[in-house]
Every structure is written in structure tokens, then in C-alpha cells.
Amino acid sequence: MDVVKDEEKPLHIVMFPWLAFGHMIPYLELAKLIAQKGHQVSYVSTPRNIERLPKLPPNIAPLINFVKLPMPKVDNLPQNAEATTDIPYHVVQYLKNAFDKLEKPLTHFLQSSNVDWIFHDFAPFWLGPVASKLGIKCAFFSIFTAPLIGFMGPLSVLMGNDPGRTKPEDFIVTPPWVPFQTTVAYRYFEIMKIADILSNENPGGYSDIYRLCYCMHHCETILIRGCTKFEPEWFQVLQNIHNKPVVPVGQLPSMSIEYSNEDNTWSWIKEWLEKKPHSSVLYVAFGSEAKPSQEEVTNIALGLEESKVPFFWVLRVQRGPTDNEVLQLPEGFDERTKGHGVVCTDWVPQMKILGHVAIGGFLTHAGWTSVVEAVQNEKPLVLMTFLADQGINARVLEEKKMGYSVPRDERDGSFTSNSVAASIRLVMTEEDGRIYREKIKEMKDLFANTTLQDNYIDNLLNHLRSL
């Protein structure tokens, strides 16, 4: 662990992520890297979320203080629901209402603590003025990549003051502030799935766009998960459109992560994988947020069967106990694929699975943490997007030939089992897909190089001190 020099007082940084594991985990990874440099981190969330986070390495545990703010009660939010993974998609707006009620207890914590900086997510639009009053500096830490934040555009566009974007079709083309040729844009079906997020009219409270605008408007500096060597032109776009510092914090590759129930689960998975040839198994998982429709699950299942490729599929059949739409596998699927494939409906240690030599590819939603873990382990990607930033991530990966997207209908996003099977075979075994298998290996150093990551953290800390 690096020790802070005598003349430099250690910083005290508060981390305040949105209540989704795709956000909480990158915030925790950044907290660990900052603590390794000898600085104090207070990681703020609700009790159940903190209990579900991975254990800290003993060498940095004393420097990371978990602050549990009780989850506020709001109408329409089920009991014990503290993260997006606990509830169906349409209930997430009520989780945001509860999150906003954390303003008072968080303010109380900030008043009673000697804090230098607070790193916050896109959601707490109310935090900037609170921090400013207390003399605490704010950094908006985006777990979304530079291409996504760059594509979304300057604040004038986000706030709706610029007439450039008024309808979904405006999101499926390259915007005027991107000065280079690129395919990075949403597809029509992707933008229609998240139209509620993009609208400034939101009956349930404040839209995500409104939240993002105010978070970016009030912060001193913008921190982006990403690497200037991987996407230099997009970092340049961000510098051009935002009138404040934009600092990359690296890809935040997962340090060794351990969860409490890991050993029992991993032992049977490992035993199953050990029986499979090298690079023969497809790992299938869509993160903690995405839940495919019943029709999509049926076509994925039949596509896996048709591909004849062995598979390990982590399938979330419902989002939390109150989700009434429980996904079903096609009739007879289990019997027909017995010994050839596994469908697991529980939590699994993803990094360990991706690290196993039997895994030869990853069918993923293109959530960036999963992408980083795949690149760390040199596993080529078959892409199937569902929500949020995933469409933009998929275009970046397609452009760089690191992943291949399952062909889908542009209007409604539907796909066939044939296209699933053909995409899997292309990326895993066919000569035409060799480019994907090679590119992912080439990119590993940019994503997983510890010296490079360490330099990003040093630059970040120097930047925070300079302000």
C-alpha cells in the first residue's frame, strides 16, 4: 500500500453511488484504489446494499468506512427493496423517490464529518448545493463510458434548450458535436426501450436526464470510467462540450473479489467446467439490471441448443420477489441439454467463471463491468443489449471488433433462435470470427495493466489536490 507523504494530509473522500450493483461495484473498485494510496474513503449506501458488497482486502479495510443510511420508506416500494435488482423495472422510479429522501441523513453525515470531496452518481440532483454550502467539493463520477456521456451531448442539449433532439430518431444518428466518423449511436429499438429515461416529463418525479444535468452542472470536475488510450477521440468530445475538467479514472478492472457464499457455489461450477475442453463453453449472463422478455428467453434458449456449443447460463427469472413475470425455459429444454449446458438461477462468481480455461466466449448485455471482466480474461463477446448505456457500449465494441451483436429487427429488437446460434458459432469457432477472438486479447493490456491503472489514480489524486 502506498503511504501518503508527510507534508500531504490524506484526503477524505465520500462515495455516493446510485442504488444499482452496476454502479455500486465500480464505486467500490475506485474506493479500494484510492484507499491503497493511503486516503480515507467513506462509502455511503443503505444497510442491505452494503451487506451484499464483496469483502474488502484486509490491507485496505481500515481506510474504507461503510456508512449505512437507513432506507427511507415510500409508497409503492416493496419492503427490503434497496437496489434495482430487488424490483421490476417499472418500480425503479419509486426507488429514486426513496433515494431522494436520503438527502437529510446524508447532509447530517457530511456536517459531522471532515470531508474534502464527494464522488456522486447521476441521481442526486440535490447534492451539489448541499455540498457547496458545507464547503465540500463535488465530483460527478460516471460509471458510464466517455462515448455514452459524449453522445448524450452538452448541458444545453440535455436540458432541452437546444432543439437538436426532440424525437427518438434523433438518437439513432451521430450528433453534430461529434466531429469524426462513427457508428456509435442507439438503434431504434434500444432508444424506444429507454424513452422514459430520456424524457424530461416524468410523472414519477425527476427524469434521469434532469438528474444527470444538475449533477454535471453543480460538480467541480467530471470523472469518467475509461482510458484515453482506448477512446481518445471521445475524451476530446467531452473536453469540447463541458466547460470543466474531465478526468479518466481507468477501466477499474476487478481486483480479487470475494463474496460470502462464493466457495460452495464455485466448487460445483468448477467441477462442471473441469470436464469441458479448453475454450469450448459459452458463458451467458445479462447482469443484475437486465431481464429479457419471455419471448427473448425462449429464443436465447433455442439458439443455445441449436448452436451445439456447451453453455453455462446465469438466468434471472425475476427481478425481486414482487416481480410477477417469472421467466420459463422452453418445454423439455432441460432434458434435451442435460450434461451439455447448465442454467443457474442463483448468484455466481462471474470473475472466476470468466477466468476458467473452459470458457471460450461470453454472451452479454454489454454492461461495462462485464465487458471489462471479459477483456481481463480474454473472452470474445456476443452482444445482446437491453437497457440504458448498453446500446452505445455495443457500438463501441462492434467498431473495435471486440464483439459481435446478434442481428435483430431495427424497429422492435426481436431476434430468432437461428441468429443467436449463428452469432455464437461465429464468435466461438468459425474462421470469420477469428478477428473477435484476437482483438479481445490485443485489448487486454489497455484494460488490465495495473501500472496504467495506478497512473490514472495518481493523476486523479493530484487533480483533486490541485483544486
Q: Domain map of the chain by residue range?
A: 12-255+450-466, 262-446
Residue 15: per-residue pLDDT: 98
Structure-model confidence comparison of residues 252 and 254, the more confident one: 252
SS3 381: strand
Q: For the residues 284-291, what does the mean pLDDT come to?
A: 89
How large a percentage of the chain has pLDDT more than 90? 83
In this structure, of 22-26, 77-81, 199-203, 348-352, the range with the lowest mean pLDDT score is: 199-203
Which CATH code fits 262-446? 3.40.50.2000
Q: For the residues 99-109, what does the mean pLDDT come to?
A: 97
What gap in Å lies between CA 302 and CA 304, rounded to an integer?
Answer: 5
pLDDT, mean over the chain: 92
Encode pLDDT of 132-152 as tens digits. Answer: 999 999 999 999 999 999 999
Q: Which amino acid is present at 415?
A: F
Rg (CA), the chain: 22
Encode pLDDT of 197-216 as tens digits. Answer: 666 555 557 888 889 999 99
Other CB atoms closer than 10 Å to residue 401's CB: what's the count? 16
Residue 6: per-residue pLDDT: 43
State the pLDDT confidence band at 467, using cuts at 50, 70 and 90.
confident
- Which CATH number is 12-255+450-466's, of 3.40.50.2000, 1.10.10.60, 3.30.2310.20, 1.10.10.10? 3.40.50.2000
Residue 140: per-residue pLDDT: 98
Residue 145: per-residue pLDDT: 96
Residue 5: per-residue pLDDT: 57
Residue 193: per-residue pLDDT: 87
Cβ-contact 353, 253 below 8 angstroms: no
User: Quick check: 14 pLDDT over 80?
Assistant: yes
User: Quick check: 7 pLDDT over 80?
Assistant: no
Q: For the residues 59-74, what does the mean pLDDT come to?
A: 96
User: Quick check: 257 pLDDT over 70?
Assistant: no
Residue 387: per-residue pLDDT: 87
Has this prediction a pTM greater than 0.85? yes
Other CB atoms closer than 10 Å to residue 172's CB: what's the count? 15
Cβ-contact 315, 347 below 8 angstroms: no
Encode pLDDT of 322-373 as tens digits. Answer: 888 999 999 999 999 998 999 999 889 999 999 999 999 999 999 999 999 9
Other CB atoms closer than 10 Å to residue 178's CB: what's the count? 21
Which residue, 174, 360, 168, is CA-closest to 277? 360
How large a percentage of the chain has pLDDT more than 70? 95
Residue 198: per-residue pLDDT: 66
Domain 12-255+450-466 shares a fold with domain 262-446: yes
Residue 195: per-residue pLDDT: 78
Encode pLDDT of 412-435 as tens digits. Answer: 999 999 999 999 999 999 999 999
Residues sharing a CB contact under 8 Å with residue 155, sequence separation 6 or more, in sequence order: 213, 216, 217, 242
User: Quick check: 375 pLDDT over 90?
Assistant: yes
What is the side-by-side strand order in the sheet with 137-142? 64-68, 40-45, 12-16, 117-120, 137-142, 221-224, 246-248
User: Quick check: 276 pLDDT over 80?
Assistant: yes
Which residue, 363, 343, 360, 361, is CA-closest to 406? 363
Size (the chain), residues: 467
Structure-model confidence comparison of residues 15 and 158, the more confident one: 15
Q: Which amino acid is present at 236?
A: Q
Q: For the residues 51-70, what does the mean pLDDT come to?
A: 95
State the pLDDT confidence band at 77, using cuts at 50, 70 and 90.
very high
